[in-house]
A and B are shown apart, each in its own frame.
Chain A
Amino acid sequence: MALAKRIIPCLDVDGGRVVKGVQFVDIRDAGDPIEVAKRYDQQGADEITFLDITATHAERDTMVHVVEAVASQVFIPLTVGGGIRTVEDIRRMLNAGADKVGINSAAVNNPEFVREAAEKFGSQCIVVAIDAKKVSAENETDKWEIFTHGGRKPTGIDAVEWAKKMVDYGAGEILLTSMDKDGTKSGFDLALTRAVSDAVNVPVIASGGVGKLQDLTDGIKLGHADAVLAASIFHFGEHTVEEAKQQMAAQGIEVRL
């Protein structure tokens, strides 16, 4: 008997549709979020994450409706990230049926926001999303830096130190995305994942780079992640969540089958 490692399909949602950016640029359509979420639920997904990549305020309402519709039909945990900047944004998403919210840029701009959010809603629903890029050269000790604005804007903040700080401020979970790996299908940045996961005492979700099922197992075994997040590997029917879990179980990882 033990806690299972989680598989979390991620749905990038824009204007009420699921899309997937490759390195946040090239976008392909992958369907209706409610249908996609139901399919993943049936396949045994442990949670579902929605990343709201909508830019305009008006379209935010669309996202709230998506969450409401999914939460009425899919009874597993739902996380919503993207554009969460205020306590009111969090309240709206939680009231719509989200269980957790992901905070990214707003945490970098104002770390106190994470503290305020955790105090108000509890650490259990505050996920701090970290986009990190490797900044050390080949012959140097590994070092990663936080980037915002979809990976375009460097901040000069060290990723591991930042993760520790966010946990001190009340983050209940860290969603860690490697900007170098995202969209490449070449596997997680395992050194980054391990460095962050070993440095903090809250669960870490590995994200960015999954191209094959073994990458998920590696994220947990070698990257020490508590959960693994993937998008395109599941969206386009290459693999099901169930297949992924079977493969993980065969390598001795505790999963919910």
Chain B
Amino acid sequence: MHRIAVIDYGMGNLRSVSKALEAVSNNASVVVTSDPQTILSASHVLFPGVGAIRDCMAELKHLELEHVIKQAAQEKPFLGICLGMQALLTHSEENNGVNTLDIFTGEVKLFQPAKNADGEKLKVPHMGWNQVHQTCPHPLWKGIEQNSRFYFVHSFYAVPEDKRVIAGTSAYPDDFAAALYKDNIFAAQFHPEKSQRAGLQLLENFVNWDGQSS
């Protein structure tokens, strides 16, 4: 039986993530936890998060979870969501610059004021339903139509050094990385737990994922 650990480090609403996981998994148990042993003994690990990166990293340090996350990210199907994706990069420019977990080499940057092709001002945070263009086949995209809409709410976005780790892009107005992948790791800037049908499909794919990226 699969056991999915949702990492609880005090950043945001974990109820939605765990309820959505429960809704898509028939024979998996979902546990919201900050206990290293529970995380490391789980079959799947979900690293969620909303809020600011400085607090996120401070909480991970405080709970001694940095190495636990790094280890889990090497070993088992691992899904980072929103801030839980941004924290996987090397460094974020939020909060005057914060060093992050460096699982994907790269930087997290703030959206600059911009206009779209119609001259309309693009607001920050990038909030709402945007299309995600799947740039590679991946088990987590299974059953999800190309260019499906997912719910985003963020002001910063990931810029990985190696573009080959990008699994999906969205445009605001320029293309940015909406999802990253590497081996057993998948990370989404959007919130699958808030993205209705397409989001639940992605979570279901994650629950059933063996950690192989093809």
Contact residues of A with B, CB < 8 Å?
Answer: 1-6, 41, 46, 68, 71-73, 75-77, 94-99, 119, 121-125, 172-173, 198, 200-204, 224, 226-227, 256
Question: Does B58 sit at the interface, judged by CB under 8 A?
Answer: no
Instruction: Judge whether B123 is part of the interface by a CB distance below 8 angstroms.
Output: yes
Q: Which residues of B approach A to under 8 Å, CB–CB?
A: 12-13, 15-16, 19-20, 23, 50-52, 113, 116, 120-131, 133, 147, 149, 151-155, 170-173, 191, 193-196, 199-200
B151, A226: Cβ atoms under 8 Å? no
Cross-chain contact A4 with B125 (CB below 8 angstroms): no
Across-interface contacts of A203 in B (CB, < 8 A): 123, 125, 127-128
Q: Tell me the dominant secondary structure on chain B's binding face.
A: mixed
7 further contact pairs, Cβ within 8 A, besides A46-B128, A99-B194, A202-B125: A3-B172, A75-B195, A95-B15, A97-B13, A97-B15, A124-B125, A203-B128
Residues of A within 8 A of B123 (CB): 200-204, 226
- How far, in whole Å, are A125 and B125 apart by their CA atoms in the complex? 11
Tell me the interface secondary structure of chain A in the complex. Answer: loop
Structural contact, A6 and B19, CB atoms closer than 8 A: no
Q: A172–B125 Cα gap in the complex (Å)?
A: 7
One of B50, B130, B131, B172 near A124 (C-beta < 8 A) = B50
**Closest chain A CB from B205 CB (angstroms):** 15
With known contacts A4-B128, A201-B124, A123–B155 Cβ distance under 8 A: yes
Q: Knowing A75-B194, A124-B50, A202-B124 touch, does A99 contact B129 (C-beta < 8 A)?
A: no
Contacts of A41 in B (CB 8 A): 196
Q: List 17 A-B contacts (CB under 8 A).
A: A3-B128, A3-B129, A3-B130, A3-B172, A77-B151, A94-B12, A94-B13, A95-B15, A99-B194, A121-B50, A121-B51, A124-B50, A125-B13, A172-B153, A202-B124, A203-B128, A226-B127
